[in-house]
Structure 1
Amino acid sequence: MDTRPTSTSALLLFSGGQDSATCLAWALSRYDRVETVGFDYGQRHHVEMQARLDVRAAMAAAFPDWATRLGEDHVVDIAGYGAIAESALTADRAIEMAADGLPTTFVPGRNLVFLTIASALAYRRGHGAMVGGMCETDFSGYPDCRRATIDAMQQTLSLGLATDITIETPLMWLDKAQSWALTHELGGDILVEIIRKRSHSCYRGDRSELHDWGYGCGTCPACELRAAGWQHWRSGDGA
Structure 2
Amino acid sequence: MTSTPHHTSALVLFSGGQDSTTCLAHALSRFERVETIGFDYGQRHSVELQARQVVLRELRQCFPVWSMRLGEDHMLDLAVLGKVSDTSLTRDMAFRMEESGLPNTFVPGRNLLFLTLAAALAYRRGIQVIVTGVCETDFSGYPDCRDDTMKALQVALSLGMDHRFLIDTPLMWIDKAETWRMAHELGEASQVQGGGQALVDLIVEHTHTCYLGDREHRHAWGYGCGTCPACELRARGWDRYRAGS
Q: CA deviation at 1:4?
A: 4.7
Is residue 2:239 matched to residue 1:231?
A: yes
Conserved? CA contact 1:85–1:108, under 8 Å: yes
1:183-205 CA deviation, whole Å, 9 max, x = no partner? 00011000000011111010110
Residues 5-61 of structure 1: CA distance to partner in whole angstroms, max 9, x if unpaired? 431000000111110010000000000000000000111221100111111111110
In structure 2, the residue matched to 1:111 is: 111
Provide the C-alpha distance between the structure 1 equivalents of 2:180 and 2:44, rounded to a whole number of angstroms: 27
C-alpha distance in 2 between matches for 1:100 and 1:2: 32
Contact kept in structure 2, 1:40 and 1:78, CA below 8 Å: yes
CA 1:157 to 1:68, structure 2 compared with 1: closer, same or farther past 3 Å? same
Q: Does structure 2 retain, via aligned residues, the 8 Å contact 1:4–1:30? A: no
User: What's the counterpart of residue 44 of structure 2?
Assistant: 44
Question: Pick from 183, 186, 192: which aligns with 2:200?
Answer: 192
2-structure distance, mates of 1:3, 1:36: 17
Q: Which residue in 2 is equivalent to 1:32?
A: 32
Residue 220 (str. 1) matches residue 236 (str. 2): no
Quick one: structure 1 residues 76 and 2, their matched pair in 2 at CA, closer, same or farther if it must change by over 3 Å?
closer
CA distance in 1, matches of 2:56, 2:100: 37
- For 1:37 and 1:2, locate their aligned partners in 2 and report how far apart those are by CA, in whole Å: 20
Q: Deviations over 1:116-139 (max 9, x none)?
A: 001000000000010000011011
Residue type of the alignment partner of 1:225: L
- After TM superposition, the structure 1 = structure 2 runs for residues 62-101 of structure 1, keeping only pairs within 5 Å, are 62-101=62-101
1:76-130 per-residue CA deviation (whole Å, 9 max, x = no partner) reads: 0010122102210011111110111100100001000000001000000000010
CA shift for structure 1 position 2:
8.6
The 5 A counterparts of 1:160-199 are 160-187=160-187, 188-199=196-207
SS of aligned partner of 2:164: coil
Q: Which amino acid aligns with 1:34?
A: V
Equivalent residue, structure 2, for 1:136: 136
What's the CA shift string for 1:206-233, capped at 9, x where partnerless?
Answer: 0112111111000011100000000001
**Residue equivalent to 2:192:** none
Q: Distance in 2 between matches of 1:13 and 1:5?
A: 21
**Distance between the aligned counterparts of 2:205 and 2:217, measured in 1?**
11
Matched residues in 2 for 1:49 and 1:5: separation? 32
For structure 2, list consecutive stretches of 5 or more residues without a partner in the other structure: 188-195
Contact 1:119–1:130, Cα closer than 8 Å, also in 2: yes
Q: What is the match of residue 203 of structure 1?
A: 211
The percentage of counterpart residues that share the same residue type is 61
Number of aligned residue pairs? 237
Distance 2:112 2:179 in 1: 23
TM-score computed with the length of structure 2 as normaliser: 0.94
Cα pair distance change 1:163/1:216, threshold 3 Å: same
Task: Pick closer, same or farther for the CA change 1:13–1:97 going to 2, 3 Å.
Answer: same
RMSD value over aligned CA atoms? 1.2
How far off its partner does 1:3 sit?
A: 6.6
Q: Tell me how far apart the structure 2 counterparts of residues 2 and 43 of structure 1 sit (CA, whole Å).
A: 30
